[in-house]
A = this chain, B = another copy of it.
Amino acid sequence: MPKINSVQTHLLRVLSLVYRHESISRTRLATSTGYSSFLISKLTERLLKGDFIREMGAGESSGGRPPTLLSINPGIGHLVGVHMGTINLRLAVTDMCGRVLAHKIEKSLVDKGPDEALNHLLETIFDLLKAARISRHKLSGVGMGISGLLDRERGITLSWPKVPSWANVPVRSFLEDNLGTFVEVDDTPRTMALAEKRYGKARNSEEFVYLTFGAGIGAALFLHGKLYAGQGGFAGEFGHTTIDEHGPLCSCGNRGCVEALVSASIIIRQAEEGLAMDLSPQLRLITQQNGGRVTLEGISSAAQANDRFCLGLLLETGVRVGTGIVSLVNLLNPELIVLGGGLPKAAGKWLLPSINRVVQERAMQGPSSQVSIVLSDLTEVDWARGAALLVSENALRSALLKAVGS
């Protein structure tokens, strides 16, 4: 990576700040950087001339003439965001403002092994770039969230829960070699948290926890204003918080983890047992209409139709999730916990009240009075948009270096 000189450092600092805010005045840029208004005026002039930023309408006045607001030129970079789950693949091509120019949701083919899955991913990226009319050479970077276990530094997968053959797969270099662009990978809870911070419910929060409930349970910790990944990038295994030291064995080898007691597949199995014992007339009806398949949505609809078995099942699930969240609230004292992923999307309405009740009852008074627990309202395409944010700062840097030379 080429080094940048001190003028470029100043330009990049201002450009990053404009990027991070939807719009910002020169006065606020001066306050945030500590630069003089003279320097800010010179730097923004140069960024305006290079078409990196644009003047928008005027902002709110704090007395005198309302200040002109600056915002990023969306066209200075184009990013691809990828969210590769165990089952589904979500992709988006965005401009620098995060506007989606093309997107796609399909099967990830993770179970077919890395060769097939990665080649399929590459083809899908080419298709999408064509649909968005972005030349491959104009691509500023690819950010990718991966549900497998990662060595982020080296950009390789270490393993994939319940899928063999994903040990030591160099995902990042595969994409870099084939696309000739900058690539970053991280785990899906963290890329989803980036989406939540920029586009979702965590927009105004500097400290929050994002929990995702899909096939497994993941967490991302956003602390001191940035993602916290831990020593080796493994932080966030909230699913493997013990809530019952004598509980059932978990896939991780421990006992009584949250994930061993609550997961989409466990809830569905419990619902199937309820059906077999003829405890749930509404779910039977819904499942018959659904070709015999029990789904989270079906369980939620049955609850909606006042099916007592399904209501009880979701209530109990909420209590278990809530018990895990109690430890999280006591340990981290977060202001916000956002619940995302398939389970909250399908059944959050039923889970949230019992989660909140357990947290209010069981967590310590100080931290429990300060935490808001909310359901994410982001879509699967937003998850891909979030992954693209992994490479956005680098895209700004390259755009600047390309234009002003090094």
Contacts and interface: CB of A to CB of B under 8 A. Distances in A.
Interface of A: 9, 34, 149, 158, 207, 219, 221, 223-224, 226, 228-238, 240-246, 252-255, 320, 323-324, 326-328, 330-335, 361-364, 366-367, 370-371
Contact of A237 (B246, B324, B367): B367
Given A224-B226, A252-B364, A364-B240, A231 B370 contact: yes
A367 B234 contact: yes
Given A207-B231, A326-B242, A364-B234, A219 B370 contact: no
Nearest to A241: B327
A228 B237 contact: no
A331 B254 CA distance: 14
A242 B149 CA distance: 26
A395 B57 CA distance: 46
A240 B366 contact: no
Given A232-B367, A237-B333, A241-B330, 4 more contacts: A207-B230, A223-B223, A245-B320, A253-B361
A261 to B, nearest CB: 9
A232 B231 CA distance: 25
Contact of A232 (B228, B328, B362, B366): B366
Contacts of A328: 331
B223 A367 contact: no
Nearest to A158: B366
B233 A333 contact: yes
A362 B363 CA distance: 25
B366 A234 contact: yes
- Identify which of A207, A243, A366, A370 gathers the most chain B CB atoms within 10 Å of its CB: A366
B231 A334 contact: yes
Contacts of A231: 207, 333-335, 367, 370-371
The 9 A-B pairs of least Cβ separation, nearest first, read A230-B333, A237-B330, A231-B335, A234-B333, A235-B333, A254-B362, A234-B366, A240-B330, A241-B327
A232 B367 CA distance: 7
Contacts of A9: 34
- Identify which of A149, A158, A331, A333 gathers the most chain B CB atoms within 10 Å of its CB: A331
Nearest to A333: B230
B367 A254 contact: no
Contacts of A366: 149, 158, 232, 234
B241 A331 contact: yes
A334 B370 contact: no
A212 to B, nearest CB: 14
Contacts of A232: 333, 366-367, 370
A223 B255 CA distance: 28
Nearest to A246: B244
Nearest to A255: B362
A242 B331 contact: no
Contact of A331 (B207, B219, B320): B219
Contacts of A235: 331-333, 367
26 contacts: A9-B34, A207-B230, A219-B331, A223-B223, A223-B224, A224-B224, A224-B228, A228-B332, A232-B366, A232-B370, A234-B330, A234-B367, A235-B331, A235-B332, A236-B333, A237-B330, A237-B364, A240-B330, A240-B364, A242-B323, A242-B324, A242-B327, A253-B362, A254-B362, A254-B363, A255-B362
